[in-house]
């Protein structure tokens, strides 16, 4: 048994007795405690002079495990483990269906999502094998998978309806064999509403002895699905002064008609709330901001941002609860509940940078990453300069950098004195001295969007009027006429990057740096109308 205890102190503690003559356990601190079943007497008591107010809450046995290592498991309330409440969404509940007379009921089994059908006699038709009460048939499309214990000719699988005279009408018919996966369509309203017959049936066209497994394939497999009456609570979380929350979740907005919450940590944040399924908001330290719901599966919020968009927060408000509620609100636990599903949820005790958030998505979240199309990437490559591949001797001899993209946009090295040390790291890198030497590539195509990636290191960060690289048509004194000026400074030790003429302040990464049309190393950057 797992319990949550509140209201205890060192002097007013809870006594746990587990069998007569067994040593007592004393609980002197609020928290969550688990006790193993010892098949003996079990009970609680207090020994207090004066008043006490101790609350003991038995927690659910179903949990959402915390993989951070901090043991902050979430306890699951109201989940049914079938249909749209549990892991995956199932269109039907097989437990409410009935086996027909041709099935060996004593050895056949069924669960909410599986049938195991055994027919031992080969001398009679399989017949109407499974009866489905219409009031327990949820009329929607779904998938079935069949596994058959022996190799036989294709079996005709039917969904049939009968009238009052037991005249059958085939609703759906298909041939199956071992491993078949079929899509069962929505049954027509005319047949579904036939008042003369209260059941519809699964029928298998064979007269052979056979064993068949029928598996209902879930939508949103390996995701925890909430039906508007379920939620999860984590107890004993630290009190937060800052945070980042990232979740791989899906809102079923078409089913949300009233107040719904995805995640609430009282006063620290409310991560995605709606009153009608259309208008959404976020809260950060009790300040509410209207948001445009992130439609992709992965969404995040920090103290000051919802998916990169600024949100308000109150600096004079503080986190005041050790609970994290998923799928509801603390004000009315079990009400105003989320309708949707989620995979990963990660909570951090500080604001992560955009770059860090990107790393979390790619490395910590259980998301199958989309593999990039190598050919598509190479088609978009304009230039590729590689000092290590070309070698110092060749660069000195040709006074140029070879373009390894295949586009022959070789660059000229200007104002280099090859007699000095112009190469470092055993010739793997060129050193620019800040005294006029530069590398110039020409015949670049006119671009509207771009990505530039460089493995470089700033040695002297006295940045005034020093720039790493730029793309523009000529030697302009202003970045407003260039597609980008990538990393530089206008004031000492303060760095900027220009994106189509817009000056964005930046923090330099150490070795590898990336800039695109709207992003600098994971952080959004603005642009203007430069060409």
Handedness of CA 464, 466, 469, 472 (dihedral sign): positive
Question: Do both 265 and 201 map to the same domain?
Answer: no
The most confident of the ranges 206-215, 405-414, 486-495 is 405-414
Question: Do both 213 and 227 map to the same domain?
Answer: no
Residue-wise pLDDT for 126-161, tens only, equals 666 788 888 888 888 999 999 998 777 678 898 988
Question: Do both 294 and 421 map to the same domain?
Answer: no
Question: Do both 13 and 54 map to the same domain?
Answer: yes
Mean pLDDT calculated for residue range 201-223: 88
Question: Do both 102 and 160 map to the same domain?
Answer: yes
Q: Is residue 81 part of a domain?
A: no
Q: Using CA atoms, how far apart are residues 297 and 248, in angstroms rounded to an integer?
A: 5
Bridge partner list, 470: 485
Which range marks the domain in which residue 250 is found?
A: 222-363
Question: Do both 261 and 197 map to the same domain?
Answer: no
Residue-wise pLDDT for 475-498, tens only, equals 555 666 788 999 988 777 789 998
Q: Is residue 65 part of a domain?
A: no
Q: Which residues contact 357 (CB under 8 A, 6 or more apart)?
A: 244, 246, 300, 522
Q: How many domains does the chain have?
A: 5
Token pair, residue 68, equals: 């951070």
Q: Is residue 157 part of a domain?
A: yes
Phi, psi of 430 (to 5 degrees): -95, 140
Mean pLDDT calculated for residue range 289-316: 94
Question: Do both 124 and 226 map to the same domain?
Answer: no
Which H or E element spans position 378? helix 374-379
Indicate the residue among 172, 199, 217 that finishes a domain.
217
Residue-wise pLDDT for 16-74, tens only, equals 988 777 788 999 999 999 988 877 788 999 988 888 899 999 999 999 999 999 999 99
Question: Do both 108 and 230 map to the same domain?
Answer: no
Q: Is residue 80 part of a domain?
A: no
Q: Is residue 327 part of a domain?
A: yes
**Model pTM?**
0.69
pLDDT at 310: 92
Question: Do both 452 and 487 map to the same domain?
Answer: yes
Phi, psi of 39 (to 5 degrees): 60, 25
Phi, psi of 93 (to 5 degrees): -125, 100
% of the chain surpassing 70 pLDDT: 94
Residue 356's domain is classified under what CATH number? 2.60.120.200
Q: Is residue 400 part of a domain?
A: yes
Q: Which residue has the tokens 């036989």?
A: 152
Question: Do both 226 and 351 map to the same domain?
Answer: yes
Question: Do both 359 and 242 map to the same domain?
Answer: yes
Question: Do both 394 and 316 map to the same domain?
Answer: no
260-265/269-274 β-pairing: antiparallel
Q: How many CB atoms lie within 10 A of CB 450?
A: 16
Residue-wise pLDDT for 244-271, tens only, equals 999 999 999 888 988 999 999 999 999 9
pLDDT at 190: 78
pLDDT at 327 over 60: yes
**Comparing C-alpha atoms, which of 511, 508, 483, 510 is closest to residue 498?**
483
Q: Using CA atoms, how far apart are residues 483 and 471, in angstroms rounded to an integer?
A: 6
């Amino acid at each position: 048994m797992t319990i949550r205890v509140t209201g205890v102190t060192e002097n007013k503690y809870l006594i746990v007795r587990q069998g007569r003559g067994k040593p007592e356990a004393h609980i002197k601190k609020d928290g969550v405690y688990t006790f193993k079943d010892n098949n003996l007497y079990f009970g609680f008591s207090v020994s207090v002079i004066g008043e006490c107010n101790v609350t003991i809450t038995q927690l659910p046995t179903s949990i959402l495990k915390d993989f951070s290592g901090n043991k902050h498991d979430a306890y699951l309330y109201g989940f049914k483990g079938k249909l749209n409440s549990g892991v995956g969404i199932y269109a039907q509940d097989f437990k409410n269906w009935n086996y027909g007379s041709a099935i060996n009921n004593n050895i056949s089994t069924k669960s909410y999502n599986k049938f195991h059908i055994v027919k031992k006699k080969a001398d009679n038709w399989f017949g109407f094998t499974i009866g489905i009460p219409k009031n327990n048939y949820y009329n929607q499309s779904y998938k079935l998978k069949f596994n058959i214990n022996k190799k036989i000719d294709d079996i005709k699988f039917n969904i049939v309806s009968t009238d009052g005279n037991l005249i059958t009408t085939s609703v759906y018919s298909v041939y199956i064999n071992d491993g078949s996966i079929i899509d069962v369509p929505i049954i027509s309203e005319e047949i579904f509403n036939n008042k003369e017959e209260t059941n519809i049936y699964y029928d298998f066209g064979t007269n052979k002895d056979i064993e068949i497994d029928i598996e209902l394939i879930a939508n949103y497999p390996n995701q925890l699905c909430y039906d508007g009456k379920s939620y999860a609570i984590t107890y004993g979380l630290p009190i937060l002064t800052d945070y980042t929350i990232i979740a791989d979740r899906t809102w079923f907005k078409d089913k949300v008609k009233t107040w719904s919450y995805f995640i609430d940590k009282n006063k620290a944040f409310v991560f995605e709330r709606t009153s009608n399924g259309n208008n959404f908001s976020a809260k950060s330290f009790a300040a509410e901001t209207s948001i445009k719901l992130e439609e992709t599966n992965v969404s995040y919020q920090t103290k000051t941002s919802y998916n990169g968009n600024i949100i308000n927060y109150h600096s004079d408000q503080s986190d005041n609860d050790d609970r994290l509620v998923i799928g509801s609100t603390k004000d009315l636990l079990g009400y105003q509940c989320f309708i949707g599903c989620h995979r990963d949820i990660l909570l951090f005790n500080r604001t992560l940078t955009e770059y860090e958030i990107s790393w979390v998505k790619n490395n910590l979240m259980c998301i199958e990453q989309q593999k990039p199309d190598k050919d598509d990437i190479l088609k978009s490559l304009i230039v590729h300069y590689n000092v290590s591949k070309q070698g110092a001797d060749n660069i000195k001899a040709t006074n140029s950098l070879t373009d390894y993209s295949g586009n022959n946009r070789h660059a000229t090295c200007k104002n280099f004195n090859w007699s000095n040390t112009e190469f470092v790291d055993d010739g793997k890198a060129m050193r620019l001295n800040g005294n006029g030497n530069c590398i110039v590539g020409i015949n670049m195509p006119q671009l509207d969007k771009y990505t530039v990636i460089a493995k470089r290191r700033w040695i002297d960060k006295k940045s005034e009027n020093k720039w790493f690289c730029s793309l523009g048509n000529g030697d302009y004194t202003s970045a407003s006429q260039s597609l980008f000026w990538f990393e530089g400074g206008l004031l000492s030790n303060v760095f900027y990057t220009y994106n189509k003429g817009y000056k964005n302040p930046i923090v330099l990464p150490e070795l590898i740096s990336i800039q695109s049309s709207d992003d600098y190393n994971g952080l959004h950057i603005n642009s203007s109308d430069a060409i």
